Amino acid sequence: MRCKFCGTDPDPVVLVPNVEKRKDGQIEIFSCLDCAIKQGIYCEKHDSPHTGFSGDETTACLRCIEEEVQTKKEAAEEVYARICGTLPQEELDELKEFAEDSSVITGDDESVSVFRFVMTTAHRLKLPWDQVVVMTLERRSAQLILPSPF
């Protein structure tokens, strides 16, 4: 196995998210630890590779996202109310459907699920979470924060 970035035969090997649209059909991409860190696709805090997301080339550490959700959870209800009060009904219905599904999995209420969507987008785009809220409100659309089903 060779590092995708520097070509060395690494030890340890880091399996990194395949965020590029690959013409060769390769699913697994390997990297050395140094390159994975330099590329911003490895979380040193949690000693694990980022997760890739469908639909684009962004990555993020799921544990970092969840930590921030839990430490700022008190803002979830206000964020949810602001977003719900701004979205057109069709977008609101779609957001609530995703939030309900997420709530079943996580055991959190819908407001925390939507807050997790916001936080995930923030980490993927490397933006403050409150800026993601503002962008969502300005666009009057949940598309920025909705999880991609594919």
Q: What is the mean pLDDT of residues 65-81?
A: 97
pLDDT grade for 76, boundaries at 50, 70 and 90? very high
Q: What's the pLDDT score for residue 25?
A: 55
pLDDT in tens, 5-51: 899 988 888 887 765 555 555 556 789 999 999 999 999 999 999 98
pLDDT of residue 18: 63
Rounded mean pLDDT, 110-127: 96
The per-residue pLDDT for 2 is 86
Q: Where are the domains of the chain?
A: 13-60, 63-139
SS (H, E, C) the chain: CCCCCCCCCCCCEEEECCCCCCCCCCCCEEEEHHHHHHCCCEECCCCEECEECCCCCCEECHHHHHHHHHHCHHHHHHHHHHHHCCCCHHHHHHHHHHHHHHHHHHCCCHHHHHHHHHHHHHHHHCCCHHHHHHHHHHHCCCCCCCCCCC
Q: Give this prediction's pTM.
A: 0.87
Q: What pLDDT is stored for residue 29 in this prediction?
A: 77
| pLDDT more than 90, % of the chain | 71
Given a cut of 60, whether residue 83 has pLDDT beyond it is yes
Q: Does the structure show a pLDDT above 80 at 135?
A: yes
